[in-house]
Structures are given as structure tokens and as C-alpha cells.
Amino acid sequence: MDDDAFENLKDAFRAAPSTQLGRVIIEEYIRREELDAAGLLYRSSIDEHPDLQNDEWDTQFLEQEPEDLRAKLKVVEKDESVINIDTFRAKSTTFDDVVGLDKIKKQIHRKIILPFQKPSLFDRFRKKAGGGILLFGPPGCGKTLLARATAGEIEASFISVGISDVLEMWIGSSEKNLHEVFEKARSQTPCVLFFDEVDALGASRSDMRQSAGRQLINQFLSELDGVKANNDGLLIIGATNAPWHMDPAFRRPGRFDRIIFVEPPDQSGREAILQIMLAGKPLGKLDLAAVAKKTDGFSGADLQAVVDICVEEKLKSAFSSGVPEPIHTKDLIKASKVHKPTTREWFNTARNYALYANESGLYDDILSYLKIKK
Ligand SMILES: Nc1ncnc2c1ncn2[C@@H]1O[C@H](COP(=O)(O)OP(=O)(O)OP(=O)(O)O)[C@@H](O)[C@H]1O
Ligand SMILES: [Mg+2]
């Protein structure tokens, strides 16, 4: 079996584990002499798929020295790229760097930062600090930026984890990975622990019925609940473009109990974002308000793309003419016609969920946003 085929098989197993696929994958691991991986998969699947059981594999994998397993996990721990931890004391980015979104900043301040900074005040009102917030919305509209800025506001360290990286390792060791991530965050409080694409982890039950995924979700929930460990000083922020794929269990009190819609920038927001993105570039006379007016539906990331297209064009012409030329209004407008805004497609999907699956008013903010836009 070639590597591509093997990867496909593993993907298929992740999506829908079956005894038969599990067996083929274990056999292939053995053929490739990747015995650790074979053993991890066998041990983590045998409960759910008892038909996998065979005596030879029992001897080979279940009686394996636990030491071996630990050594294997150490290797995983050492390789930081596996969990893609991005950690630093984030003082550099604060709310001042986030254009607009004032309501959200206030909300984060009141519900997250204050209880965090003045726990005694909140104790008196018996309001528990803790629990996480979930930021959702179309791509490129500042979710990651907000998480980073929240860390900056309280001078906390910031750990960002891409869930797909954790999942990549889920055959056998992703629960362990996840636990390590939480432990690392707990060891350097105050800390903002940011989970990007958290929907990939919290995929709703119908998408992820299987045991391995379920186990990982349960692990995540118990880490969130802080059952076995203390989550004081830990702010957990999740971000997703697809909140409808998340398991409702994530929204219970004490978990992601604050759910915040991060909307695309309005006209004055787009103007201010463009201003930031163009800073330090050679500029002609610019009417950014005009550009902002013509870029309805553009996210921050879309505006970045527009600026990048302009810069590239200018570089090209500077190469041929030898003279660097400044960016003008018409260049930006021209570029904005080349780049299609990415938020529209998102709203097409979101509209359906907001209209037909708006349990407990979860998507009210989307509805009111769309109404304003109509
Ligand atoms: N409100 C804003 N103020 C300033 N910059 C912004 C704002 N919104 C987006 N940007 C800029 O746009 C780019 C994309 O933002 P960011 O990565 O935070 O989006 P995101 O919502 O996390 O996107 P994704 O869903 O794709 O992860 C960044 O360069 C960010 O600085
Ligand atoms: Mg992001």
C-alpha cells in the first residue's frame, strides 16, 4: 500500500472507525514495522471493536512493557510541532489593536477579565469565575486576534493550539496530548489557552459517534471542568467557523458558556483596518472611506488580501520601470474587484442554521446581523 492510500485509509477510519478498517490499518502498520503505532491503535480500539481481538496481537501489544509506551509518548511530547504550541507572554497585542467590535470587547471585559482580576469581588456575589468563551463567526474577522488581545489585556501568557494537530495524533495518544496542553497552561498562569477550530474536536455526536473521538471529547470536557486539576488563572477561549458542528455538551455552564458572534467589520471598521494594514507602505493620496464603501462583506483577512494584491502589482511595475510607485485609491478598488469576499458563503450556510436550527436562540446575533444587512 502506498503512503497516500494509507493516509486515506487512516482518514476513513477517523471518520468512521470499523473493525475491518482497524484491522487493515494495524496490519499495514505491522508490515511497515511501525509497531508502536500498531500497538497504540490496537489498545485504543479493542474495547470498541472486540472482534479485532486476536491472540497474537494480544501477546504482541497488550503485554508490551508500559515503559515502551511511555518512551513513545515522550517522543510525541518532545516534538512541539505536533501540538503546535505557540506560547509567549502576550503584552504586545491588546484591545487597542482590535478595530471596532466594541460590544465584544466590553463583554469580554465584564465577563472574563474582571472576574479574573478581581475574584474576591465576584466571590461575594457567588459568581464563579471560570468557564470558557467561544468565539464564532465567518473566517478572517478577528477571532484569533481577539483571543490574543485578551491575553495582552491581562498580561497573561498565550497558548494557541490547533485542534487538527491534536487530532492528527489521536490514534492512541491525542488524549494524552490534550492533557499535556492543559497542564502546560496550568503551569504558567495567568494564561489564555486558545483552541482554534474547536469544532473539529467537538464534532456533534452524529458526526463523531465513534469511541476514539468520543473519548477525546470527554477528555476535553473533563479538562474544561477542571475535575482533577485546578483551572484557576486559566482562561479558555475557543474559536470556530462552524459552531453548528459542536457537541451541545460543550455549552453547559462552566464550559463554553459564553458564546460570542464576531461579525465582519462595518464600513468605518474596514476603513480603520485598511489604515493599519497600509501603515508604512508608500502611499499616494488615499480615500480609504471610498475603498471601505466598496468592500462590503470583506473580512479583515480579505482586506489583507486586497492590500497584498496592490503591493504585488506595485512591486511588479517597480521592477520594470525602476521607480517605486505609491498605492492609490484606484489600485485598492481594482484589487477589491479581483478578490472575492469570503464571508458571503459563510453567511449562506449560517443563515440556514440560524433560521432552522436556532435552539435556545444561539444564533440570534446572526439573525439580527442579517436583518440589518437586508
Ligand atoms: N477587527 C479587526 N481589527 C484589526 N484587524 C483585524 C480585525 N479583524 C480582522 N483583522 C485582521 O485580519 C486578519 C485575520 O484575522 P484573524 O486571524 O483574527 O481572523 P479569524 O477570525 O481568526 O479567522 P479564521 O476563522 O480564518 O481563523 C488578521 O491579520 C487580523 O489582524
Ligand atoms: Mg483564527
Residue 200 lies in a domain: yes
Cβ of residue 148 lying under 6 Å from some atom of ligand 1: no
* 78 inside domain: no
Residue holding cell 472576574?
A: 115
Residues 367 and 332 in one domain: no
d(CA 370, CA 374): 6
Q: With a 6 A CB cut-off, is 131 part of the ligand 1 pocket?
A: no
Q: What is the pLDDT of residue 71?
A: 40
Mark whether 312 and 288 lie in a shared domain.
yes
Q: Looking at residue 206, what is its pLDDT? A: 45
Asked whether 108 lines ligand 1 (CB < 6 A), one says no
266 vs 368: CA distance, rounded Å? 14
What is the dihedral angle through the alpha carbons of 224, 227, 229, 233, rounded to the nearest 10 degrees? 50
Q: Where are the alpha helices (DSSP H) in the chain?
A: 3-15, 19-31, 35-45, 55-57, 66-78, 102-108, 114-117, 119-124, 143-153, 163-168, 174-186, 211-225, 267-278, 288-293, 300-321, 329-338, 343-356, 364-373
Tell which of 239, 261, 283 closes a domain. 261
40 and 121 inside one domain: no
Distance 18 CA to ligand 2 centre (A): 33
**Which grid coordinates belong to 5?**
492510500
Domain assignment of residue 292, yes or no: yes
Q: What is the pLDDT of residue 142?
A: 94
Ligand nearest to the CA of 149: 1
Closest-lying ligand 1 atom to the alpha carbon of residue 138: 25
CB atoms within 10 A of CB 285: 7
Residue 297's CATH number: 1.10.8.60
Asked whether residue 332 falls in the same domain as residue 365, the answer is no
* Ligand 1 atom 8 nearest Cα: 142
- Give 10-residue mean pLDDT values along the chain (374 residues): 86 82 90 82 80 84 53 35 44 85 88 73 53 90 92 85 66 73 86 85 50 71 78 87 84 83 95 92 89 95 94 84 85 93 92 86 89 60
| CA 299 to ligand 1 center in whole angstroms | 7
* For ligand 1, atom 25: residue with the closest CA: 139
Spell out the residues 6+ positions from residue 99 whose beta carbon is closer than 8 angstroms to its own: 142, 265, 269, 272, 273, 276
The answer to whether residues 231 and 186 touch, using CB atoms and an 8 Å cutoff, is yes
Inside any domain, residue 282: yes
The predicted structure's pLDDT at residue 144: 92
Task: Tell me, yes or no, whether 355 lies in a domain.
Answer: yes
Residue 54 maps to a domain: yes
Considering the domain architecture, whether residues 131 and 255 belong to the same structural domain is answered as yes
129 phi and psi angles, rounded to 5 deg: -75, 160
Identify the pLDDT of residue 171: 53
HSE of 187, CA atoms in CB hemisphere, 13 A: 7
pLDDT at 60: 80
Q: Which ligand is nearest to the CA of 241?
A: 1
Taking the centre of ligand 1 as the mean of its atom positions, its distance from the CA of residue 274, in whole angstroms, is 12
CB 157 less than 6 A from any atom of ligand 1: no
Give the position, in ligand 1's atom list, of the atom nearest the Cα of 100: 1
* Residues 187 and 286 placed together within one structural domain of the fold: no
Decide if 210 is inside a domain.
yes
My answer on whether 275 and 244 are in the same domain is no
Considering its fold, how many domains does the chain have in total? 4
Region label for 236, one of left (φ > 0), alpha (ψ between -120 and 50) or beta (otherwise): beta
> Does 209 lie in the same domain as 88?
yes
Cα–ligand 2 centroid distance for 60 (angstroms): 43
- 144, 237, 295: residue to mutate for ligand 1 pocket, most atoms within 8 A of CB: 144
CA-to-CA distance for 336 and 329, rounded, in angstroms? 11
Task: Identify the pLDDT of residue 131.
Answer: 67
| Per-residue model confidence (pLDDT) at position 120 | 66
CB-CB contact of 25 with 9 (8 Å): yes
C-alpha cell at 269: 471598521
> Is 314 part of a structural domain of the chain?
yes
Ligand 2: centre distance to CA 150 (Å): 14
Cβ of residue 149 lying under 6 Å from some atom of ligand 1? no
Judge if 318 and 201 occupy the same domain.
Answer: no
Produce one character per residue of 340-365: b if its CB has 16 or more CB atoms within 10 Å, e if not. Answer: ebbbeebbeebeebbeeeeeeebbeb
Query: CB–CB of 291/272 below 8 Å?
Result: no
> Are 265 and 300 within 8 A, CB to CB?
yes
For residue 54, the enclosing domain spans 3-64
Among 212, 216, 219, which Cα is nearest to 45's? Answer: 212
Nearest protein Cα to ligand 1, atom 10:
300
- Co-location of 174 and 285 in the same domain: no
Same domain for 51 and 154, yes or no, is: no
Q: What is the DSSP string of 223-259?
A: HHHTSSS--TTEEEEEEES-GGGB-GGGGSTTSEEEE
Strand bridging mode 132-136 / 256-261 = parallel
Task: Tell me if 161 sits within 8 A of 197, measured CB to CB.
Answer: no
Structural domain ending residue among the three candidates 261, 285, 315: 261
Same domain, 175 and 314: no
Regarding the beta carbon of 243 and ligand 1, being less than 6 Å apart is answered no
pLDDT recorded at residue 241 = 92
- Cα of 265 vs centre of ligand 1, distance in Å, is 10
